Structure 1
Amino acid sequence: MRYDPFKAIVTPRPIGWIGTKATDGSLNLSPYSFFNIVDDDPKIVMFSSGGRKDSARNAEETGFFTTSLASRNLIDQVNTSSVAVPHGVDEFAIAGLTPVFGRLVDAPYVGEAYIAMECVVTEIIHPRDRHGNRTDSHMVFGEVVGIHIDERIIRDGRLDMSLAQPVGRMGYMDYAEASQVFEILRPKPPNSAS
């Protein structure tokens, strides 16, 4: 194959749109497709940075980050905020987005996003390969201490993700939009008496 298919195999991957503030006060916003929920009691999310990029460094130094929902209506801004720029350059400004500071953490989230979560860093792990060598990845775990949800995507007391249209990363430069949502109930255990 002309290109490594690994990231195309593990798809779709949710995008953590990570907002941080550096110790010098500068703001940073970057999308990470190595992102997911890892626990729900307490609520913990994780993003992984290849190298110690601004998001990982800022989160480590301040102890805070946010993650905003990458949705179809904001995909151009998500992509724009992925631009490689020097430390201190504000991707919120480059993408024309409104930074809103968390109520519980000193980090900005995307004001235009349908959903944002405020996170306190709990640990940072550097994965090792099968030989025990440390990789250049920085897995940043954070406990969610605040959640902001736009009421426009709530229907019957639940999030309606067909309205939110979250975007996931596929392989290469491909993305997927989750707008066709379907429900499947979990099966009941078989009746042990039969």
Structure 2
Amino acid sequence: MHVIGQPVWGNAKQTYVVLTMESAEFGEIEFVADPTDCVERGRELYARALAGEFGEILPFTAEQPPISEVLTTKHTQINQWRDSQEQAPVEHNGHRWDADPTSRARIESVLLAGAMPLDYWTDADNTDRPMTLEQLRALYAAIVQQGGRIHDRQRQMKTEVAALTTIEEVQAYPVGWPIEEPA
């Protein structure tokens, strides 16, 4: 994906920037770049826009896009969050383990073969950890469980966003894991 066109402030307070991007998969899309985004790419694009890399940031205009466009943008943000979470390591048995599609495919091939090729598995921090086939099954189950939690959360967010009625509510909706209140 690359930026096309000039960035525009997304609101009068200038707290986020709207970038028009060209995606091989989706064509032309609007991307909301926010310094507090839970996805690193959003924070990075915001910093690059602020630094002037994509040209001057045009002022916010009160002319609002249709709510359908704002909903589409929010759904794109939710999908980007889901995709980034699926790439993130999983905590299991006191270690972080790669859980991206390539790592899952490697584990699946060993489980399908029914035999460990080595007596260890390498964690996300590149440390070899002793591992049996049963332990690898448990790791895979933890990865699948995390994938289910990610899927459930993104479905929940899309349902909550669909219930919102104003552009401001949709734009203000926080994408990510819910923030737990301190006890």
Q: TM-score, normalised by structure 1?
A: 0.21
Q: TM-score, normalised by structure 2?
A: 0.22
Which is bigger in relative contact order (C-alpha 8 A, separation at least 6)?
Answer: 1
Which one has a larger percent strand, Structure 1 or Structure 2?
Answer: 1
Which one has a larger percent helix, Structure 1 or Structure 2?
Answer: 2
Q: Which protein has the larger Cα radius of gyration, Structure 1 or Structure 2?
A: 2
